[in-house]
Structure 1
Amino acid sequence: MTETGIHPNVSLKKAGIRHTEQNIIEYFSALFSISFAKSHNFKGAWYNFAFLKPTTELKEKYRFQSEMLLITNSYENFDTRTFDYVDKLMFEYQNRLDKLCVILISGDKKIKSKITSLAQQNPETRIIIPFSYLDFFKSNPQEIIKQRLKEFFYGRDLFAFESPLQNDAYFYGRTETVQFFYDKYKSGENSGLFGLRKIGKTSVLYALKRYLNLRSESAVFIDCQEPAFHKRRWNESLEFISNQLLNEIINSTHPELNIKLSTNYTEKDASTSFEEDMIKIHDAIGGNRLLLIFDEIENITFDISPSEHWTSDNDFILFWQSIRSIYQKNQGLFSFIIAGVNPKTIETGLIGSYDNPIYRMITPTYLKLFNHSNVSDMVKNIGNYMGLDFDEEIITFLTDDFGGHPFLIRQVCSKIHRETTSKRPAKVTKFYYREQKENFDRHLSDYVELIVDVLKNWYPQEFELLEHLVLGNLKEFEKISSISDKTINHLLGYNLIEKSDNDVYHVKINAVKNYILDQTKIQHSYAKIEDKWATITKKRNSLELKLRNVLKLSLRFKFGSAKSKSEFLKIIEEKRRERLNNLNLNEIFSDSGEVYFLDIQKYISKNWADFEKIFVDKGKFEIYMGLSNENRIDAHAKDINQEDMTITLSALSWLTEKCDNFLE
């Protein structure tokens, strides 16, 4: 049992900690054991920090696993650069400190509201328990500490991350992978990281970049998905990389750097200028090898880039000829890593009539799904901080049902958190999981669609092979897979399928299998045109009623009953506006009202900020609304092919689900 107090080997005074901060730490010593303390200057600012070892009582109540970091900063205006120092301490003492939770004492009187706001804006923020210095001049500071701990635990949804992880607080199961790519970089090798959408590739790349920065080594992260990059021609892209690299280095490891880069990036001189700039940067930071990280590589890949010059022109050839030539000529200057779904970039020998400059230059590495142990670490550790105690069997269910796909598993756990009683800690039983399984599957359908659609749209042969396996068409599966090992090796690499000891293939992620089965049912269910009419009409009419209710409720919430009508009528053309002006809001949005489907779309798109939390993705909303309106086959008395039927039903289902979630 851990006792409270300050460890005999710890002297706050000898550690250089001022009297005021000594008193504050002593208040915490009534609830924790103080095992280490120090005062330190970091980037021109003074910090005091201590390690707090939780008592058995606190461990049981808040599920603390390790010692907690307490850090003080007396400045009256809180600066988020404090978190840079927190990251540094977490790295240096990673074997001792709880990486998810920090106690922050600040001279800023408004620190509590600032940290609350920060957590709302950035859900990936650590659990920060904020205190102002003034809190410790009030009566009974120990009671304030207890209340603050209770207030800042349990409430946040620590599973609900949809964007790549940008710090190590919630980064699980990938440490060995980061080390693998770091070793490649140190030895001057180039590398490639591939895998399914949302599996965590970008999170690994961010972690790799942080790993380098903590060692004062330099990397630039290029998101090829950004139009700011893939819309540039090959020579402009090289200039973009050199400028981004210099900015990254100045902002992260060498703020004192002052060098001028070339502006001569014409097609004729771009390769030479890029080489000169890379050498200039390399020499200015002490000769450490640089790392170029290219994420979402499909966006600058021949045949599939959204920009024509990468797809059909020679930009891919010229870009990689330049990088390969400079890399081979200048040992120790830089190495690079490319990441995407599929290693097409490095597995295609000929592009048109030209040799691929990076063909076989890199051996692809596929990012693995989580095993049972990884899932257990992530779910139980994060769940502990939220007061959720998961049955051991649930870990097995999550691993099997979602194949160890970390993003899908976190989304399920997030839904469990939202639907579990507010009284915490709470037990999440295997019986509850089984009862809610269909509900979880529906909740994840959009995410599974996102994962599968990449194969369907970009790599149709791989999707076709997967579909045959799901449907049990083993002859077709064997026929396609025998044509090329590449296709089946990709599916194995993605961890979508696995091979048993008796050479039989199985789909590894049940959620993907069920999604494909459901989509196949949709495609084969409607033989007669009358059946198609009836199905689309019913779903569309139901959706339109729900959209009217969503719009009416949103208007009333924002403008009140009196002003709602006039605000909505602003988007209606003058002739119809006069007629609608004689009706009240309920009449306007009733079944017999003159509000059309396109009116609803027009208002929501124009006032997207009011509806973003409901429909999330504006581009998807507008495409799906357009499909739902265009494919009114009952109105136009026309047939619809199976593919368009499937897409239309998917659009109607997606829009209906978003409305239902809001109207619930």
Structure 2
Amino acid sequence: MLETTRRDDESLSQFHDRLNLTSNDDDYEKRGVACFIDDIRRYRGDKLFVIALDEIELITYNTATSETWKSLDAYKGFWSALRGCACPIVVCGVNSTINEVSNLTFNGEQCDNPMYGRIMNCSESGNTYLPAFTDDQTKEMINTLGKYSNIAFSYVYGRINNAFGGQPWAIRQFCSYIFDNVKSQRESTHVFEVSKATCDNLMRQFQTSSAGVHLCETILQHLSIYRSEYSLLKKMALSPEKYNSVSGDDIISIDHLQKYGLIEHDIHTGYISFCIGIIRDHICKTETKSPEDMDNNERRRYIQDCIAVCEKKLKQYILNYYTYASTPEIGRTLFFDTHGKCILKPHVGILPSSCIFPDFFDHKKFDFYFSKLKILISENWPQLGLRFTSINISKEKFISCMEDLNAGRTDADHYDPENTITYPENWEIDDQTMQAFRTAYNTMNRFFEFCGL
């Protein structure tokens, strides 16, 4: 419209000369915002001048892929320039922090948001979010695109639309996956019609394919900006029986989940459901359920797995100490009482008197009860407690942590975590016990990180 398009026979330097901008590259390096505003005003004149931006997540500080844009300075300068030129702006993308957050904090930087509230009705009107496609819209989109490659989706468009909640980008990614998998079957003389059987089988394959995983990661990456909403989405996926409805304050928290087309919420009953099954399944495979949402059997398994990790690391800590800070010979004496009897229970065929120091830490040779680790470390605190006290974990706190890590097991003094696969039938883990366990586990993890274990 303004005849500023570069011509086919025109070099880049010729194009720049013809534009006759008020500023050169050096000027932009020194005062980019002011130069941009001046040049836009020069060309705008009295005509309508609209700036349209697509995929703004690629140039937004917290979702950018380029290091150049992972900076609040770059973000603030760019949007300040666009705001200052006083042109209408059309913005498309999935990062609404440019309009909904007044103060920005990222990577230790802070600044005011120049675009806060500038995009009209973005946070209020559903019309600013692309609504889910209907079956007919999906049919038109994928058959129009498929026509260029002699492929049609006339029998499966409804299946595809339902599987991906009518989200156009996700639908196109899956259709591209179908194309890649059937292109060897296509012929130039007629249209290849995707059958229901082919669609259903490729749908299952897509979930674990690199393309499917990339789709899920891309969508969730943008949503993770909103921590409370992302946390709620995970709970919906991992504990659907507990989080199958929302009410009260949670209704506000699901705002973006609905606008992004990830869930459907019935305002009358409060019930919610996932719109895109592959997203739900991906979360279930890659995320861990919060202990407070676990049932008792899940809590038992969670605690058992955590204790097995603690046992290995505490064993390694003792082994390292008497290998490097002391001697293996002194360490070996820890496992025999004053009468020369081994304090650990050897497995069949294992003779303790013939074992070297590392053998006592091998769960295939000895039962090393978790309570024995507490006793060994606390009774040798002047040596083994030094590193604990250096990060403010006293002997008393260590003993308390070890007891809380047992989480109320009635057989706490009679099991080896690495060898245990069953639990006492009466082992009930209430919320208070679980909270104490998590506090103790976090304390021990802090120690393990300090020791590089």
Question: How does the TM-score come out when normalised to structure 1?
Answer: 0.35
More strand by share: 1
Computing the radius of gyration over CA atoms, which structure comes out larger, 1 or 2? Answer: 2
